[in-house]
Amino acid sequence: MRVLKFLHCADIHLDAPFTSLANAAGKSSERRQDLRQVFIKIIDVAQNENVDILLISGDLYEHDYVKKSTIYFVNDQFNRIPDVEVFIVPGNHDPYVAGSYYRNFSFADNVHILTQEKPCFEAAGLGVCVYGLGFMDFYSEKPFTGQLKPVDKQAINILMVHGTLDMNIGNDVYNPVSSGELERLGMDYIAFGHFHNRFEGLGRSQNIYNPGSPEPLGFDEEGEHGVLVGTITKDDNGNSYIDTRFIKLNRKFYSSMDVDVSGCGTDEQVIKRIEDTVKGMDTGAGIFCVNLTGYVEQGFNIDLQYVTGYFSNRMFYLKVLNNTAPDYDFSRIAGEPGLKGLFVRKMLSRIENSRDEHEKKILTKALYYGLEALERGEIECL
């Protein structure tokens, strides 16, 4: 029986530009430091968990932005774990192209870059064979599965893939592969990268895993982020068993939210609604996108610069969108002749005569939706 302990990570994107934060002084630089600190944590986990191998399934760094000092930093971290075999498969952001540091830099002796030129590494002392399906360019129409040699059924076989799984991706060529194709390769564990959100135990053999990005990079990556640590056990009959656990590492988090500011007539009231919404959250580590909705008092124009500035020292980053609409002057509309006036008069009467608070709320919503439909010919639900 063989037992192998591993750490699986992907999509760290060291030296990412964080252009969406460019208008906030120093924030892009701080986020790049977050990525470094998370990478240090990954190496700490490898040490503390006494893993045998570290799998990095692509996009370790950004080819177009990475500094050589960052590569030295990465290698210094690898040198902290000389007894751990490190396997890297290039991704679409750090492909094995001319000028790549994977080609031109002398990494520590325990580091192995898997490419079409060298798609497999056998660590005989650990009883493991690691295969790689990475990027030789920034786009890849199909991974080279046919070039992989048959697996050694007595060894633990791991396949590292940076690409898309079971997706109809149209013109986006990022190593598309199906779980059926992977199943036929006979691997014990398939270590994916490219998707920034985690998935575990996919495929017929339930052996396809993706840890997601250890540090979130955008508003489509909400929730916890980190790495997978696990063991692969293979018995004498060739049956393998996978046991994994997720370790949270992210330093910042993204959160998008709608905030209803109906009835507000001042910026301070709007600020209070936002504060109430984020109450209890670690706002200092939060990257927020707040969408203001609802009906505000006639003539009130929300000062987005002031609202954003108020939170500049209370949140790591805040983006505010204003999708509010002016409230209606119901008393004036009720006095109008025609269909709108008649509708408002009848709805106000029903709201006033209702003794049920829940019914009043429903009738009030109906009043707004009805007026919106009469004025615009459509309803935008708030």
Q: Is 196 or 326 the better-scoring residue by pLDDT?
A: 196
The least confident of 111-115, 151-155, 210-214, 312-316 is 151-155
Residue entry with tokens 């500094």: 67
Exposed e or buried b per residue across 98-118, where buried means at least 16 C-beta atoms within 10 angstroms of its C-beta: eebbbeeeebeebbbbbbeee
pLDDT in tens, 194-227: 999 999 999 999 999 999 999 999 999 999 999 9
Residues 358 and 308 in one domain: no
More confident residue, 84 or 143: 84
- Examine the fold and report which residue of 195, 228, 248 is the final residue of a domain before the chain moves on: 248
- Residue 168, pLDDT score: 64
**Same domain membership, residue 92 and residue 150:** yes
Given a cut of 80, whether residue 14 has pLDDT beyond it is yes
Report the domain count for the chain.
3
pLDDT band at 144 (very low <50, low <70, confident <90, very high): low
The pLDDT of residue 380: 56
Residue-level pLDDT at 201: 97
Beta strands 85-88 and 53-56: pairing type?
parallel
Q: What is the mean pLDDT of residues 311-321?
A: 95
Mean pLDDT across the stretch 337-366? 88
Residue numbers of the domain that contains 273: 253-326
- The answer to whether residues 223 and 290 belong to one domain is no
**Per-residue confidence band for 367, with pLDDT thresholds at 50, 70 and 90:** confident
Q: What pLDDT, on a 0 to 100 scale, did the predictor assign at position 344?
A: 87
Residues 274 and 228 in one domain: no
What pLDDT does 145 receive? 64
**Segment 157-180 mean pLDDT:** 83
Point out the domain boundary residue: 248, 265, 287.
248
Residue 321 lies in a domain: yes
Q: Are residues 11 and 140 in the same domain?
A: yes
Same domain membership, residue 169 and residue 37: yes
Beta strands in the chain (DSSP E): 2-9, 53-56, 85-88, 111-113, 120-123, 128-133, 156-162, 164-165, 176-177, 189-193, 199-202, 208-210, 226-234, 240-248, 253-260, 286-293, 295-296, 317-322, 325-326
Is position 382 within any domain? Answer: no
Place 108 in a pLDDT band, splitting at 50, 70 and 90.
Answer: very high
Q: Please state the pTM of the whole predicted model.
A: 0.88
